[in-house]
Structure 1
Amino acid sequence: MEQEGTTAHQRHGGGTITNALSLFASRLSHHRFADEELRVLEAALSAGGDVAALLSTRSAARKLLRESVAGACAAAAVEGDGARLSVADFFARAFALSGDVESCLAMRYEALVLREAKYSDDLDLHVFHEEWLTFAQDSLDNGFYTIASKAFANALVHIHPSHLDSTNSTLKKNKVNDIRGLQTLAKSLSAQRSVQTQSAEYMKRKTSGVSENCNLHSEKRKLPANLMFRLGIKTRNTQKLLLSRKRNLEEV
């Protein structure tokens, strides 16, 4: 075990991988993606005498995982869909342990899409609307509005029409309406972020000495101050609406 960990430490560079992570790095380099490896990672992330050491290990783990995921997915693609799904699930859980929310959501999305495309007739791997809904809410909560909108749409697709004809059809219809409301909210927040990003880019150009006549796009006028103010108010109101709709959805 010690030899395996030392080899990994040398391979990745002494300044990048801590001693606690060296064994996990070695497992990754040998394409070992099982629960045992996740336990090794979890142990490494909890090792350390102080907060600074823990944060350093966590940062190194995120970097290691990001550097390893592309190669692992490429190798799994050669083996087949089963290997692809296993690797996606492994990295989703590993990124979650390391606190890399964005990468975790990306791998969860890849796994859901793969199951949707390849395992729709498999009772164990079939994707139900609850999974899409959970993923959509997690994406929305963490600010990934565009992907949240797509996931809410997938959740709606997977609610079978027969479910709306049951004895609790009113509750089901209310749930569908709430999901649609959250999807609309995600689209709205995504559009607002796009506008705000363009506005920030405009101000950056302006303060950098670019001509004051420069617009965000050559054919568009710059946003007036009153519109930016209304956008700020709308953002606050939509956040309140998000909390309200989430409570309603949880009560159904």
Structure 2
Amino acid sequence: MSNTAFDQQISLFRFQINNKRFDDETIRILESALVSKDVKSLIEVRLCLREFLRHESVTVIREIAEKSVQQKLFILDFFVRAFALIGDVQSCLALRYEALILRDLKSATCKWLQVSHIEWLNFAEQSLENGFCAIAGKACENAQSCLRFADLETDEISEVTDKIKRMKNHAVTLAASCSVQAQAAKYLEKKTADKSKINSSHCKGKKSAASTLFRNGIKMRNLQKLRELQSLQCNASGSYSVQDHC
């Protein structure tokens, strides 16, 4: 794809978003724009699109607050797909979580929106794989909560419950590990900074002490020279007196 065609595709995608066209055609335009042999350019474009889509998604979600559940889910799904294409895993998972929570809240009156324990488990696994431990733990709790609606035998429920428990424990362990590592890194950083301050202070102390010794040495040397000069003057005066007497 030439640079001109590439720029046109990106501009067209932005145009579609700005005009609230959250459909398959817009997704196809994005897919076409991301076909590039220039890796460096592709990375730069993805970063640019990430910022653009993050800003637009926040704005759009605020605007659709009064829309129907179906419309909200449709638009959320669009942005999930768009973020997935540009490789923004964090935003993709965040909006997927938003959609799952919305469905869960509305499922009391709309049974077709009910989220299955399998959906929550899949989301928990993907969150764990990408390092989002806290959200994975929450997804496990939701999976356990949804399990009561599952049409499963007792043995199957027990097996799924064990799987959920293992995954949640794993998420908690990883979250704690990340927290400990962060605290350790912070401690080491502080320790290094404190050590640097101590060394700096110690060097200043040495410098000050050396400077004082140097100045004292000069004073002692000058005093010694003064005494020698005075001694010579006294000797000279004594010699002159003897000569005059003779």
- Report the TM-score when normalising by structure 2: 0.71
Q: Which residue of 2 aligns with 1:173?
A: 158
| Counterpart selection for 2:70 from 49, 74, 82 | 82
- What SS does the corresponding residue of 2:64 show, helix, strand or coil? helix
Q: Which residue of 1 aligns with 2:102?
A: 114
Displacement of 1:32: 1.6
Displacement of 1:84: 2.5
Unaligned runs of 5+ in 1: 1-5, 7-16, 214-252
CA RMSD, 1 decimal: 2.5
Aligned AA (1:51): V
When structure 1 is superposed on structure 2, of 113-122 and 188-197 the one drifting more is 113-122
Q: Which residue of 1 aligns with 2:20?
A: 31
| Counterpart selection for 2:131 from 112, 132, 143 | 143
User: Residues 120 and 127 of structure 1 are in contact (CA less than 8 Å); yes or no, is this contact kept in structure 2?
Assistant: no
> Going by fraction, where is helix more abundant, 1 or 2?
2
Taking the aligned partners of 1:161 and 1:212, their CA distance within structure 2 comes to: 61
Displacement of 1:211: 8.7
Taking the aligned partners of 1:34 and 1:126, their CA distance within structure 2 comes to: 24
Taking the aligned partners of 1:87 and 1:136, their CA distance within structure 2 comes to: 22
User: Residues 77 and 83 of structure 1 are in contact (CA less than 8 Å); yes or no, is this contact kept in structure 2?
Assistant: no
User: Residues 134 and 175 of structure 2 are in contact (CA less than 8 Å); yes or no, is this contact kept in structure 1?
Assistant: yes
Taking the aligned partners of 2:108 and 2:52, their CA distance within structure 1 comes to: 33
| Counterpart selection for 1:41 from 30, 39, 64 | 30
After superposition, the C-alpha distances for 1:66-85 in whole angstroms (9 at most, x for unaligned) are 12111111111143433332
Whichever of the two has the greater Rg, that structure is 2
After superposition, the C-alpha distances for 1:122-156 in whole angstroms (9 at most, x for unaligned) are 34322111111110110011110000000011111
Aligned AA (2:17): L
- Report the TM-score when normalising by structure 1: 0.69
- What SS does the corresponding residue of 1:79 show, helix, strand or coil? coil
Q: Which residue of 2 aligns with 1:130?
A: 118
The change in CA–CA distance for 1:149 and 1:75 in structure 2 (over 3 A counts) is same
Instruction: Map 1:140-219; keep pairs closer than 5 Å.
Output: 140-160=128-148, 163=151, 166=153, 169-209=154-194
- What SS does the corresponding residue of 1:208 show, helix, strand or coil? helix
Displacement of 1:121: 3.8
The change in CA–CA distance for 1:106 and 1:161 in structure 2 (over 3 A counts) is closer
Taking the aligned partners of 2:195 and 2:67, their CA distance within structure 1 comes to: 52
Taking the aligned partners of 1:193 and 1:95, their CA distance within structure 2 comes to: 26
- What SS does the corresponding residue of 1:33 show, helix, strand or coil? coil
The change in CA–CA distance for 1:182 and 1:78 in structure 2 (over 3 A counts) is same
Taking the aligned partners of 2:54 and 2:38, their CA distance within structure 1 comes to: 25
Aligned AA (1:197): A
The change in CA–CA distance for 1:175 and 1:152 in structure 2 (over 3 A counts) is same
Aligned AA (2:98): E
Q: Which residue of 1 aligns with 2:216?
A: none
Displacement of 1:49: 4.0
Unaligned runs of 5+ in 2: 199-246
Q: Which residue of 2 aligns with 1:14?
A: none
**Percent of paired sites with the same residue:** 40
After superposition, the C-alpha distances for 1:50-109 in whole angstroms (9 at most, x for unaligned) are 322332322222222112111111111143433332222111111111111111000000
